[in-house]
Chain A
Amino acid sequence: MNATRAPATKAAPAVGRAEVEDFLYAEADLLDSWDLDGWLALLTEDATYRVPSNDAPDSEPRTALFLIADDMNRIRARIKRLKNAHAHAESPRSRTRRLITNVRLHGQEDGLVRVTANFVVYRFRRIQTTREYVGRYEYTLRATADGLRIKDRRAVLDSTALGELGAVSFIL
């Protein structure tokens, strides 16, 4: 931290863990119910959605191969694709259920809140075995007049390879 820096604006009211948890649970509900437009409305215009490759969890997408490294244009395209019946990997759609726990806040600055949470996402499809995606979310949330919004969303899988999980064809 730069101790000499003058405070530019008066401090925004701190966001508490309960508010963040409510937000993450609401987001999970939108995704599990396939309300993809509702989920899109939670993102800021400069949002990113990333899933690193299993063997490079701490890497960055400009220098390492990811599974998913979307900017907002790509997120919109992903949603458009998923709403199309010809997105065969999700047609028929998976049923998913997300359990989100261990929600922690790691500091707030300039209206941005850094959050981590653990997840288990169960994915069920008639023609496939049950798949359990386990890992950690890393969020940067923005506090706005309309409530919290997602600026960065990174899902880091714990499995050492994607292996039997097969694909990440839904929003993880």
Chain B
Amino acid sequence: MDDIANREPFIVDEPETMTFRLNRRTLADPAVLERERTAVFDRCWIYAGHESEVPEPGDFRTRKVAGRPVIFTRNSKGEVKLFLNTCRHRGAMVCREAAGNARGFYCFYHGWTYDRDGALVGVPGEDSYPPDFDKARFPLAEAPRVDSYRGFWFASFDPGIAPLETWLAGATEYLDLVVDQSPSGRMQIIQGTQEYDIRANWKLLVENSFDDYHLASTHATWLTYMKDAGVNVRPPKGLLLPSHGVGKDLGNGHAVIDNVNFRGRPVARWISIYGEDAKAEIESIRAEVFARLGEERGARVCDTNRNLVIFPNLVINDGSSVTVRAFWPEEVDRMKVTAWALGPAEESESARARRLDSFLTFYGPGGFATPDDVEALEAVQQGLATWREVPWSEMTRGLDKKGEQLNTDELHLRTFWRRWNRMMADAA
């Protein structure tokens, strides 16, 4: 392979000279993506799915995790499993449905059959194999490491990776703030998946997902919509946005923006946009959270938003609603995005409806904000065709600040890029 790392640095990170520059080649050069597949995606915990997507034995979802086709399923003992979706005979995918409930998995090519636990249970014409052929040697293969944190399941293709909870580091605090919205600690992925491509490098969506600097200009029409609905969106003196927020490094490349809410929250802060009818129910949801978690933590759950990036490609945005978003690079300039809505398993029909409605005011391919993000990322990618002539992007916002970094600064972006750079360099 072309020794890409030796040509020019991916980032120039010199705090003493207040320099943080990003080499645009990292977003445009196919050789960089080739290295990322092994240096980054094969050496991290990668989000695989949520336990609520497969509630019963035999329930399954097929998807890609780190580029591999997998079956995210629950076996006969009720355990979550991640099978690699390939027949042990010749390799065909043994499940081609997107979702369902299966007694087992059947390879239609030559008819090999596996049960829910992945065991090979049927081989047509088995008597023609040599005498030492043993079906027990050919179960469906599994990802080398699979583990979960509070309902979120991850897989790793690095057998030696640190335990998931260690690896998640400070991100667990923010996952807890999401899950604690449910009185029983059970969150649920809601039916209906938004799957869309963006013609841009996947790392641009990492940046965009928690870059609050872009909000006022990219999402001017969304802010107008909020204002028209009676929400105060005027930034106080010294801020670019209507409320205060900070960016934080959570360790291991994970980072977050942690903002005081102004945009309303289904759990649980009423704003005019929800209508007078919703006030009583939101107040009662809020009272339950405060009674369960206490004044301080209750306020944190109900009155702050968080946009969380779990390195490298999982985003949980807990703002106007909760969205879980994972994405995968198909090409250096194209990614596939999957976005789900997440809510407390026990929430009422009316609270669920409000959550979904609130989701669509901002998020998703038909929302009032996400299409403009997609446009921004695609505009960046097209501009990056000049990377040889204009090789550097500037990423120094907040670099000279000693203490707190704002959500509109770029500490959290630099956190991601530093970790990425280290993993790429370690693999060189």
Contact = CB atoms under 8 A, between A and B. Distances in A.
Interface of A: 51-56, 59, 61-69, 74, 77-78, 80-81, 84, 86-90, 127-128, 160-169
Contacts of B197: 162-164, 166
A86 B190 contact: no
B291 interface: no
A161 B192 contact: no
Contacts of A64: 190-192, 356
Contact of A167 (B228, B356, B371): B371
B192 A167 contact: no
Contact of A161 (B196, B220, B372, B375): B196
Interface of B: 98-99, 190-199, 218, 220-222, 224-225, 228, 336, 340-341, 349, 352-353, 356-357, 359-361, 364-366, 368, 370-372, 374-376, 378-379, 382
Given A56-B193, A77-B368, A84-B221, A61 B374 contact: no
Complex A-B, nearest 6 residue pairs according to Cβ-Cβ distance, in ascending order = A65-B192, A89-B371, A161-B195, A68-B366, A53-B192, A62-B353
Contact of A88 (B191, B218, B361, B382): B218
Nearest to A78: B368
A63 to B, nearest CB: 7
Contacts of B222: 81
A166 B199 contact: yes
Contacts of B341: 65
28 contacts: A55-B192, A59-B191, A62-B352, A63-B191, A63-B353, A64-B190, A65-B193, A65-B194, A65-B356, A65-B364, A67-B360, A68-B360, A77-B225, A81-B224, A84-B220, A86-B220, A88-B371, A90-B371, A128-B199, A162-B197, A162-B365, A163-B195, A163-B197, A166-B197, A166-B365, A167-B371, A168-B366, A169-B371
B370 A167 contact: yes
A87 B223 CA distance: 11
B372 A89 contact: yes
A161 B196 CA distance: 7
Q: Please report whether the interface of chain B is mostly helix, strand, loop or mixed according to DSSP.
A: helix
Contacts of A160: 98
Contact of A61 (B218, B220, B356, B372): B356
Contacts of A169: 365-366, 371, 375
Given A88-B376, A162-B365, A54 B195 contact: yes
Given A64-B192, A162-B195, A163-B195, A69 B372 contact: no
A2 to B, nearest CB: 27
A18 to B, nearest CB: 32
Pick from B228, B336, B365 the residue with the most CB of A within 10 Å.
B365
A64 to B, nearest CB: 4
Contact of A59 (B192, B221, B374): B192
Given A65-B340, A65-B356, A77-B225, 4 more contacts: A59-B191, A128-B199, A163-B197, A166-B199
A66 B192 contact: yes
B382 A127 contact: yes
Contacts of B225: 77, 80-81
B264 to A, nearest CB: 15
B194 A162 contact: yes
B217 to A, nearest CB: 8
Nearest to A67: B366
Contacts of A166: 196-199, 365, 374
